[in-house]
Structure 1
Amino acid sequence: MPDPSNVYVLNGPNLNLLGTREPEIYGSDTLDDIAGLLEDRAKELGLAIDMRQSNHEGHLIDWMHEAQARGAKAVLLNAGAYTHTSIALHDCIKSIRTPVIEVHLSNPHKREEFRHLSYVGQAAKGTIAGFGALSYLLALEAAARL
């Protein structure tokens, strides 16, 4: 059954390690901390969050297909390193009607050159990056206004 108040928040490889993985780059918030922030704000906006994480590219694709099938309002996608390598994610985003907002904790353009190319960003509705956990909240605000 369609649920236009639902926002999928999909997280790619190694994001399960947030809070301990390179905190000087990614901050000290865990994925659970971010989920809590998003759930609180989503309630205020009349939305619901469906937050998931996988280290497997195919899961992210399947979940985006599911978001479309269930009539989700939007997908917030932090594809991690797949951002810079996955034509499959690019093609998936282009093939679904559900808007996808690319999210990054750090600013990829201020990092290694190989992170400057985003296959996800080329297909996404928009990109929010560089604000730590706030990037997710800003993306949720954008999704609420779509």
Structure 2
Amino acid sequence: MGRRDRHHYGVLTLDEINRRISERAHALGVDIECFQSNHEGALVDKLQEGAGSIDGVVINAGALTHYGLSLKDALTDAGVPVVEVHLSNIHAREEWRRHSVLADTALAQIAGLGWRGYTAALEALAGIIGDETG
């Protein structure tokens, strides 16, 4: 982040994006944990470690969006609402980017809003979870 194609991914670093997400979470009164890995197994492990203690997931799976079947299974097994986020509009890019193997595990998919997609997903997820528990 901050070094990739700025047209598609913006100029903010991962730390800057995480800071903005954390600030929005604080304003919403929700607890979050930001986690990043380039390894599918680490993402699966993180989801499995959170079993029973997480209420929802906002995920940008990057290229794993298109082929991460073990990640898909872990999201399904988590049994919590999931919102899939993409910085760029994957539907306006190369054909191979347009299909998400995760999409049917997610309540929603937000694409093309840049870093704002994360805060939009967080707001939506907090509202959905609040409706379910409220």
- 1:82-97 correspondence to structure 2 within 5 Å: 82-97=64-79
Q: Deviations over 1:9-34 (max 9, x none)?
A: xxxxxxxxx00111111000111111
Partner of 2:7: 24
Give the distance between the partners of 2:57 and 2:51, measured in 1 at CA.
9
More helix by share: 2
Q: Provide the residue aligned with 1:137 in structure 2.
A: 119
Alignment match of 2:51 (pick from 52, 64, 68): 68
The one of 101, 110, 116 equivalent to 1:119 is: 101
Q: Distance in 2 between matches of 1:92 and 1:40?
A: 28
Structure 1 ranges of 4+ moved more than 4 A: none
User: 1:52 Cα deviation (Å)?
Assistant: 1.0
TM-score (norm 1): 0.83
Q: For the residues of structure 2 that align with 1:66 and 1:143, how far apart are their CA atoms?
A: 20
Distance (whole Å) between structure 1 residues aligned to residue 89 and residue 40 of structure 2: 22
**Alignment length, in residue pairs?**
128
What is the one-letter code of the residue matched to 2:90? P
**Aligned residues: percent identity?**
44
The normalised TM-score by structure 2 is 0.90
Identify unmatched segments of 5+ residues in structure 2.
Answer: 129-134
